[in-house]
Amino acid sequence: MPHFYISTSDVNQDIITVSDKENFHHIARVLRSKVGETLLLIDENRTQYKVVIQNIDSKSITTKVVETLKANHCLDLNLYLVQSVLKTDAQNFVMQKATELGIKKIIPVITDNSVIKPSVADSKVDKWQKIANEAVKQCERVDFPIVSQRTTLEQVLNNQDFDIKIACVERTHTMTLKECLRNIKIKSDTKIAVIIGPEGGFSAREIELLNRHEDVHKVSLGKMILRAETAVISALSNVIYELEND
């Protein structure tokens, strides 16, 4: 069923008016929805409305609420992705899949082996946010992730906002992510940062830097050497599996 995001200001008792240009265009012009058809609308309070279209004019759509419920398509974990920027197609893929997995924030970093220049990464942030927003609509999440401005690994490691930092470092560490997660206890507000390197992995300098930070859990994702974008999906999926609703 088509799924769209609205504001509580659009709701007047059991009538919801959809006047946002993007939503209106998609419903009326792309989907060619008609009076009597059903839509799902979600507001910023994670309230989901099942509505029936009553009227479509030149600029807005009037709907009537037939059912209201609390939407639950969101991750219980406060999970953050710190990820070395990849080439265009791979990076776009990461933005989409990390969003589908429920990440709260994506923090792009430039590392020693990054193939993307800092200036190029800076120019892509708005596009990455748009890709994340589109992915939200596809997977029916009730919240939107934030794509932050580009930063450095050093700044992330010195950031005291994260309660747990997990760096996936292939070849040099034998503790698996699974072993690490089994020893972690979290609370509902625990902030977890998962750190993934670029194609080719972290440099020797960066591995030394990670080793100097005793609060960072250095782990392996297993025996196989993964592509960077595959490592993102593998790491996030395993963290969610082990820790959500723990």
Query: What percent of the chain is modeled with pLDDT above 70?
Result: 98
Predicted pLDDT at 173: 65
As a whole number, mean pLDDT of residues 208-227 equals 90
Strand 47-56 and strand 38-42: the pairing is antiparallel
Summarize pLDDT for 173-205 with one digit per residue, the tens: 678 888 888 888 888 889 999 999 998 899 999
Percentage of residues of the chain with pLDDT beyond 90 = 68
Region 204-212: mean pLDDT is 93
Whether residue 75 contacts residue 98, with contact meaning beta carbons closer than 8 Å, is answered with: no
For residues 42 and 3, is the Cβ–Cβ distance under 8 A? Answer: yes
Q: Is the per-residue pLDDT at 246 higher than 60?
A: no
Query: What is the Cα–Cα distance from 191 to 176, expressed in whole angstroms?
Result: 20
Helix (H) or strand (E) holding 130: helix 118-139
84 and 114 in contact (C-beta within 8 Å)?
A: yes
pTM: 0.84
pLDDT by residue (tens digit) across 9-64? 999 999 999 999 989 999 999 999 999 999 999 888 889 999 999 999 999 999 99
Distance (Å, whole) CA 201 – CA 183: 25
Strand order in the sheet with 15-18: 3-5, 38-42, 47-56, 61-70, 15-18, 11-12
Does residue 158 sit in helix, strand or coil?
coil
pLDDT digits (tens, 9 = 90+) for 116-149: 999 999 999 999 999 999 898 888 888 899 999 9
Mean pLDDT of the chain: 91
Report yes or no: 144 and 136 within 8 Å, Cβ to Cβ.
yes
Own/partner pairs for 127-133, CB < 8 Å, 24+ apart? Answer: 128/91, 128/92, 128/95, 131/92, 131/95, 131/96, 131/99, 132/95, 132/96, 132/98, 132/99, 132/106
SS3 label, residue 179:
helix
